[in-house]
Chains A and B, each alone.
Chain A
Amino acid sequence: MMSSFLFRAMDARAGIFLAIMAAVIILIPAGNLLVPEGSAFHVPNYALTLMGKYLTYALLALAVDLVWGYCGILSLGHAAFFALGGYAMGMYLMRQIGTRGVYGDPNLPDFMVFLNWQELPWYWYGFDMFWFAALMVLLVPGFLAFVFGWFAFRSRVTGVYLSIITQALTYALLLAFFRNDMGFGGNNGLTDFKDILGFNIQADTTRAGLFVASGLALVICFIICRSITRSKLGKVLVAVRDAESRTRFLGYRVEHYKLFVWTLSAMMAGIAGALYVPQVGIINPGEFDPANSIEVVIWVAVGGRGTLVGAVLGAVLVNFAKTWFTGALPDIWLFALGGLFVFVTLFLPKGIVGTFSQGWTALRQRRISQALEAGSGEAPDAPPHSPSAPANVTHATPAPKATDPQPAE
């Protein structure tokens, strides 16, 4: 059962993606650690960390694509789950500092000493153990998403209303985490990390290790997403996206499906955040900024929603552009991002990957029909199709007017 579940994930497109990921995971750290510094193939430290960061963004985009591209839930608050995962990891890293903080307190992180706190708040217990922190990376975003989704999906909040509530969710968390009383470092967040799992967080090998971990997490989550979207459950998700009420009348409990995929997606976003924090060395409430969540949606839209690979590609490309712009033309970046979104919406509604595969399908179909016209006599293959593509496809014939134009649902 499990093997057939995972086997479904594989096809040519997934194969190409996994091959590229394998090359990235092996070659980039090798280029950093093994190739001497003078060589043209040497990957500098900053580039390694930067690309590690892109990989965690790619994982976040993948999580958004799963709910938006396949189930039609436009989340404008996924950065909240990302940041919560990041905070869980940050708390572990804070506890690893021990007595090496500025105040040298054996029990309390620096910011608590600074605030004159006497003892560790209860919710910091356990975070000195990695396994506990790792569990929380999954459970905290997962639990929040479950509770949020339980109420939102049961009340049948959909579309733009749900998007607005997700924005409110992340904004509320932003304000809460800014408060010193919350015990998460307030405005400054958590930083000044020293060790992770006993390794010096600044060391080249640790950075390479974190890069590989981010790459592997992306690959594993990609395979999980792919298996899900190609299963019957994935078909139900697309059905929900395109005709939610019809799916209900078929007997599917739409809210359960949404809750499942929403919670899973939040957990993936949490993992991305947890891998992001040790690589950038800080987590602060700024990560909850509503604008961050919107940026993720742009990455997915640029890459092509409902394609998974597109989400990864979009995240890497847009962030690469962002790195370049903010270095070369810092004032222009937000205009460029906005312009990019308008461009993609107007001219590439299916994103890069979606447009590419549509063109490929059209080319194949033309070849088949040409072959038929040439009289090769062979029956055409089943026409290629992409069930995950959005439904705005051409209608063969315009639907005649119903005699009684009442809304059917």
Chain B
Amino acid sequence: MARASSLLYLDGVSVSFDGFKALNELSLTIGPGEMRAIIGPNGAGKTTMMDVITGKTRPDSGEVYFDGTIDLTGEDEASIAEMGIGRKFQKPTVFESHTVWDNLELALKAPRGPFATLFHVISGGERKRIEHLLDLIRLGGKRDDLAANLSHGQKQWLEIGMLLAQDPKLLLVDEPAAGMTDAETAETAELLKDIANDHSVVVVEHDMVFVRSLGVKVTVLHEGSVLAEGSLDHVSANDRVVEVYLGR
């Protein structure tokens, strides 16, 4: 896919930490509205890739473009988030001493400057949107609970809710099903499929059942570059993938 028509475009991206190549000439393109699953063994560079896209890590070389024209390598985390890339961390990271409601309010798309927030008064529209999100992530009854007191699965969902509240164009979701029961995992897959209807989503996941239930194109990373790409059945049939990923 050409750069101009892509939503996210990585070309020849390399990152090394103390000589260890976390990303090695990684090239990847995500189209508008696409949902993509990314799998790979430990140390394949999945989280580093997310760090590069969200501005946490600067690549040593290579191009990273968002929306076809915006060069992300020169931007910091805050401005990349404002452009419309939201990220859910592998370990659920919510604001523990805030309530569920406040967590969503903070994430809600609104002016981000100190003076804008100082004089901010929550509007009816914002309330409605938070209510809607609370329903979606099924935490309506817990709106006044501190996020610290949620279960692990609930925190995962709250973080997905915060991601949606930002209303990003592209969602980067790192292991959304980690630590969830089978039933929760299935529900999360449904939720992500719903979200993918009007957002682009990149999901990093280990759980093969979960990836299969998403039913989307899969990219396999290995040692910092793309090993295979295609449907899950297609990549599962690839001998190299079986070798490095399944360890057989």
* Chain A residues proximal to chain B, CB less than 8 Å: 1-2, 4-5, 228, 231-233, 235-236, 238-239, 242-243, 245-254, 256-257, 260, 382-383, 385, 387-391, 393-397, 399-404, 406-409
Contacts and interface: CB of A to CB of B under 8 A. Distances in A.
Nearest to B87: A249
Contacts of B47: 406, 408
A393 B97 contact: yes
Contact of B118 (A233, A246, A400, A403): A233
Interface string B58-93: 000000000000000000111101100011011111
Contacts of A245: 56, 77
A406 B106 CA distance: 26
Contacts of B105: 232, 235
Contacts of B151: 396-397
A387 B97 contact: yes
Given A5-B118, A403-B175, A408-B93, A249 B81 contact: yes
A404 B175 contact: yes
Interface residues of B, number: 53
B54 interface: yes
B202 to A, nearest CB: 15
B113 A251 contact: no
A242 B90 contact: no
Interface in B101-135: 102, 105-107, 112-114, 117-122
Contact of A242 (B56, B77, B97): B97
A105 B166 CA distance: 67
Contacts of B87: 249
| CB-CB nearest 8 A-B residue pairs | A251-B81, A400-B179, A408-B89, A391-B96, A391-B97, A232-B120, A382-B144, A248-B77
Contacts of A391: 95-97, 148
Contacts of B162: 250
A1 B117 CA distance: 12
B90 A406 contact: yes
A21 B221 CA distance: 64
Contacts of A390: 97
A397 B180 CA distance: 13
Given A389-B97, A408-B91, A251 B175 contact: no
B42 interface: yes
B240 interface: no
Nearest to B204: A404
B146 interface: yes
A243 B93 contact: yes
B81 to A, nearest CB: 4
A402 B91 contact: yes
A383 B145 contact: yes
Contacts of A400: 152, 178-179
27 contacts: A231-B117, A231-B118, A231-B119, A232-B105, A236-B114, A238-B98, A239-B106, A243-B94, A243-B96, A250-B81, A250-B107, A251-B166, A260-B114, A383-B144, A387-B97, A393-B146, A393-B148, A394-B149, A397-B151, A399-B91, A399-B152, A400-B179, A404-B42, A404-B206, A408-B91, A408-B93, A409-B56
A232 B121 CA distance: 8
B150 interface: yes
A260 B93 CA distance: 25
Given A235-B98, A253-B113, 7 more contacts: A242-B98, A249-B54, A387-B99, A399-B152, A404-B90, A406-B42, A408-B47
Interface string B36-51: 0000001000010000
B94 to A, nearest CB: 8
Q: Please report whether the interface of chain B is mostly helix, strand, loop or mixed according to DSSP.
A: loop
A256 B114 contact: yes
A4 B77 CA distance: 32
A385 B99 contact: yes
A257 B106 CA distance: 14
Contacts of B99: 385, 387
A5 B117 CA distance: 11
Interface in B196-218: 206-207
Nearest to A399: B152
A143 B174 CA distance: 42
Most chain-B Cβ atoms within 10 A of its Cβ — which of A231, A254, A394, A404? A404
A253 B77 CA distance: 8
Contacts of A5: 118-119
A355 to B, nearest CB: 16
A248 B94 CA distance: 13
A243 B107 CA distance: 13
Given A387-B97, A394-B149, A396-B151, A408 B90 contact: yes
B231 to A, nearest CB: 23
Nearest to A400: B179
Interface in B147-173: 148-152, 155, 162, 166
Interface in B1-36: none
A242 B112 contact: no
Contact of A236 (B54, B91, B117): B117
A231 B120 contact: yes
Contacts of B56: 245, 409
Contacts of A249: 54, 77, 81, 86-87
Contacts of A396: 149-151
A121 B32 CA distance: 66
Contacts of B93: 243, 246, 408-409
A224 to B, nearest CB: 11
Nearest to B114: A260
Contact of A233 (B54, B117, B146): B117
